[in-house]
C-alpha cells in the first residue's frame, strides 16, 4: 500500500524579522533586516543577535515547570494556528494527534538565572524546577496546552532539530500512528549558546555575511516555527526528505560537501523529482568559512549554478534548534506566493569569494515568471547530522 502524502497545513512563526507571516514575508522580499546589537548574553561584549523584541503571551499553567521563555515562544507560534489545530483535534481525536518539537536550549536561560542565584545566596529561586531545562519540555508543554494524547517527544540534533521534526511527523502519519502532528522548532537565546559558539570562534560581531569573501561567522538568533502536519491536501506538501549522519567531525562539516549532496539528492529521489524541477533553495548558509565552502560545492554538484538560492540568516540569525523549521517555513511562505513575487533576498556585501562556486544568490532583481512549484531547505548540524526538506506547491 502506498504511504499517504504529507502536508504542512498551517504555520505559526516568530523571529527577529517579525511575529506574523505577512510581516516576515515583507522583510524577506525587501531585504530589510532586524538584527540588533546586545551584550546581554556575552558578558557585556556587544554582539549582533537575532533577538525577538516583541511581546510574548503569558504561560497559562500554574506549575512553574512550564514557565520558560522557550515555552512562551512556542505558545506565541501555536496561537497563530490555534483554529486549525483545534479543528484537527476535534476531527481526529486527542489520541490521534502528536507533538514533536526540536530545540537545543529549552529552559537553559531559566536555569542560568537559578544557578546564578544559588551561587550568590545559596538558594535557587522559589518555584524553580529543573525539568524546565529538559529537551522534551517544550513538546510536553504544547501537548499539555492542547490536551492531546498522541506521541509527544523532543528532538535535539543541533541545527537540524527543527527540520528533523517535520520528517518525524511525516513518518508518524505515513505509519498510521497519527492523523495530525504539531511539529517544528523552538529555541531562545541564552548565555550557554552565545558564549559556547563564541568559544568556537564561530560568532561574528557584525551582521553575518554568508558566501562573501569577507564572511566572519554566525549571529545567534531565537525563533519558533510550528506546523500542523496531516495527510489532508491543503497548505504545502512535504514531498521529499533526505537525511544523513556522516560523522565527519564533531563540529566541522565534510569540506567536500559529500554529506550535503547525499541529503539534497535523497530529497529529490524521495520526491521523484529532478534538480531542474526545484525553483529555489534555502541554504543553511551560516557565513562560517567551512559551511559556505562545502555548501556551495554541494549546490554546484546537485543543482549547477543557475538555481536561485539564498541564506535567510541575515534576517533571523542562526536560530539553532529552530532553524530547520523556520527556514522550511520561509520556503512555505515562498510557495504560497504568486508569479512575479520576489524570492527571499540574499543579504550580503556582494563580494564574491573566488574560491567558491558562483552559485545564483537571489538579488532584489531576481523574480520568477511563474509561481514557485518546489523549494528545498537545507539544515546541516554538528556531527554531520544533516537534512534536506523538499516542499511543493499544491495545484
- Give a yes or no: residue 264 inside a domain: yes
Comparing 188-197, 210-219, 223-232, 337-346, which segment has the lowest mean pLDDT?
337-346
d(CA 97, CA 31): 38
| Beta-bridge mates of residue 202 | none
Active-site option among 6, 15, 67, 159: 159
Active-site option among 284, 309, 331, 346: 284
Collapsed DSSP state (helix, strand, coil) of residue 11 = strand
Collapsed DSSP state (helix, strand, coil) of residue 116 = helix
Residue listed under C-alpha cell 524541477: 277
- Give a yes or no: residue 311 inside a domain: yes
Render pLDDT for 315-362 as a digit per residue (tens, 0 to 9).
999 999 999 999 999 999 999 987 667 899 999 999 999 999 999 999
Q: How many domains does the chain contain in total?
A: 1
Residue listed under C-alpha cell 556585501: 349
At 374, the pLDDT band (50, 70, 90 cuts) reads very high
pLDDT at 367 over 90: no
d(CA 96, CA 201): 45
263 tagged catalytic: no
Active-site option among 190, 318, 331, 346: 318
159 tagged catalytic: yes
249 tagged catalytic: no
- Give a yes or no: residue 2 inside a domain: no
Collapsed DSSP state (helix, strand, coil) of residue 125 = coil
Render pLDDT for 180-200 as a digit per residue (tens, 0 to 9).
999 999 999 999 999 999 988
- Give a yes or no: residue 287 inside a domain: yes
Instruction: Name the residue range of residue 177's domain.
Output: 7-393
CB atoms within 10 A of CB 2: 5
What local confidence, expressed as pLDDT, does residue 180 receive?
A: 98
- Give a yes or no: residue 1 inside a domain: no
Which CATH number covers residue 310?
Answer: 3.40.47.10
Render pLDDT for 260-300 as a digit per residue (tens, 0 to 9).
999 999 999 999 999 999 999 999 999 999 999 999 999 99
Amino acid at each position: 500500500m502506498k504511504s499517504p502524502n504529507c502536508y504542512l497545513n498551517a504555520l505559526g512563526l516568530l523571529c527577529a524579522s517579525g511575529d506574523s507571516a505577512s510581516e516576515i514575508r515583507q522583510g524577506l522580499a525587501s531585504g530589510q533586516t532586524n538584527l540588533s546589537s546586545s551584550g546581554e548574553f556575552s558578558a557585556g561584549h556587544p554582539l549582533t543577535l537575532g533577538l525577538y523584541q516583541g511581546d510574548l503571551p503569558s504561560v497559562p499553567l500554574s506549575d512553574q515547570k512550564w514557565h520558560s521563555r522557550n515555552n512562551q515562544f512556542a505558545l506565541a507560534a501555536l496561537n497563530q494556528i490555534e483554529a486549525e489545530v483545534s479543528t484537527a483535534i476535534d476531527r481526529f481525536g486527542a489520541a490521534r494527534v502528536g507533538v514533536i518539537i526540536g530545540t537545543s536550549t529549552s529552559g537553559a536561560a531559566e536555569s542560568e538565572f537559578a544557578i546564578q542565584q544559588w551561587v550568590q545566596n545559596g538558594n535557587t529561586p522559589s518555584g524553580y524546577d529543573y525539568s524546565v531545562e529538559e529537551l522534551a519540555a517544550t513538546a510536553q508543554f504544547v501537548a499539555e496546552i492542547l490536551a492531546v494524547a498522541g506521541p509527544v517527544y523532543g528532538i535535539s540534533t543541533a541545527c537540524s532539530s527543527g527540520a528533523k521534526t517535520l520528517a518525524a511527523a511525516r513518518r508518524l502519519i505515513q505509519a498510521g500512528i497519527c492523523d495530525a502532528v504539531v511539529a517544528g522548532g523552538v529555541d531562545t537565546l541564552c548565555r550557554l549558546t552565545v558564549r559556547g559558539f563564541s568559544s568556537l570562534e564561530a560568532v561574528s560581531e557584525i551582521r553575518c555575511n554568508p558566501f562573501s569573501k569577507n564572511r566572519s561567522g554566525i549571529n545567534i538568533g531565537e525563533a519558533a516555527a510550528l506546523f500542523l502536519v496531516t495527510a489532508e491536501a491543503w497548505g504545502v506538501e512535504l514531498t521529499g526528505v533526505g537525511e544523513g549522519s556522516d560523522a565527519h567531525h564533531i563540529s566541522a562539516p565534510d569540506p567536500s560537501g559529500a554529506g550535503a549532496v547525499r541529503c539534497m539528492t535523497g530529497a529529490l529521489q524521495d520526491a521523484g523529482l529532478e534538480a531542474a524541477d526545484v525553483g529555489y533553495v534555502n541554504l543553511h548558509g551560516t557565513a562560517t568559512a567551512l559551511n559556505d565552502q562545502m555548501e556551495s560545492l554541494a549546490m554546484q554538484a546537485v543543482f549547477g549554478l543557475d538555481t536561485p538560492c539564498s541564506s535567510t540568516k541575515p534576517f533571523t540569525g542562526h536560530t539553532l534548534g529552530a532553524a530547520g523549521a523556520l527556514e522550511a517555513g520561509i520556503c512555505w511562505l515562498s510557495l504560497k506566493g504568486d508569479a512575479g513575487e520576489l524570492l527571499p533576498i540574499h543579504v550580503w556585501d556582494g563580494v564574491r569569494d573566488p574560491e567558491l562556486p558562483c552559485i545564483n544568490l537571489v538579488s532584489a532583481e531576481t523574480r520568477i515568471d511563474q509561481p514557485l512549484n518546489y523549494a528545498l531547505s537545507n539544515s546541516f548540524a554538528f556531527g554531520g547530522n544533516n537534512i534536506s526538506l523538499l516542499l511543493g506547491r499544491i495545484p
